[in-house]
Structure 1
Amino acid sequence: MGEMYDEFVRFIKDSDINEKVETEFVDVIEDGLEGYDEALKLLEKGYGLPLTLINGKPRFYGGISNEMFYDVIKKHI
C-alpha cells in the first residue's frame, strides 16, 4: 500500500492542487490507529484497506484511484 500511496503523492504533486493538499500515510500494522477513531470504526465494520479520509471523513476504501481522489479533493478546496 505504501507504493500506491507514493504514486498518489506523485500524482498530486504534478497536479494543479498540489499546494492546497496535505497527505498522510498511516501504516496500520506499524503505526496502529490510535487517534484515528473513524478509520478504526470502519475497519471493525469490515471495510477493506486502504481507507481514504478527506478532511477527516471517510471517502474511499479497498483501493486507490488517483483520478477519483483528485475529483473529490478538487470539490473540497
Structure 2
Amino acid sequence: MGEMYDEFVEFIQNSDVKDKVDIKFIDVMEDSLDGYDAVKTMLEKGYGMPLTAVNGRLRFYGGISNEMFYEEIKKHL
C-alpha cells in the first residue's frame, strides 16, 4: 500500500491542487484506528484496501486510479 500512496503523493505534487490538499496515509495494520470507526466497519465487512476518503468521508475502496481520485478531489475544492 505504501508504494501506491507514494505514487499518489507524487501525482498530486505535480498537479494544480498540490497546495490545496492535505494527504494522510493510515496503515491499518500498524496505526491505531481510534477515531476511524467507518474504516473499522468497512474492514470488518470485507471491503478491499485501499480505503480512500475525501474530506473525512470514505469515497472509494479497492484499487482506484490517481486520475479518478484527482477528479473527486477537484469536486470538493
TM-score, normalised with respect to structure 2: 0.94
Task: State the 4+ residue runs in structure 1 displaced beyond 6 angstroms.
Answer: none
**Aligned-residue identity in percent:** 66
**Distance in 2 (alpha carbons) for counterparts of 1:44 and 1:32:** 15
Q: Distance in 2 between matches of 1:64 and 1:5?
A: 11
C-alpha RMSD over aligned residues: 0.9
Number of the residue aligned with 2:61: 61
Shift of 1:64: 3.0
Give the structure 2 partner of residue 10 of structure 1: 10
Q: Structure 2: any 5+ residue segments left out of the alignment?
A: none
Q: How does 1:1-77 map to 2 (within 5 A)?
A: 1-77=1-77
Q: Write 1 or 2 for the structure with the bigger share of helix.
A: 1
The number of equivalent residue pairs is 77
Unaligned runs of 5+ in 1: none
Instruction: Give, in angstroms, the shift of residue 7 of structure 1.
Output: 0.3
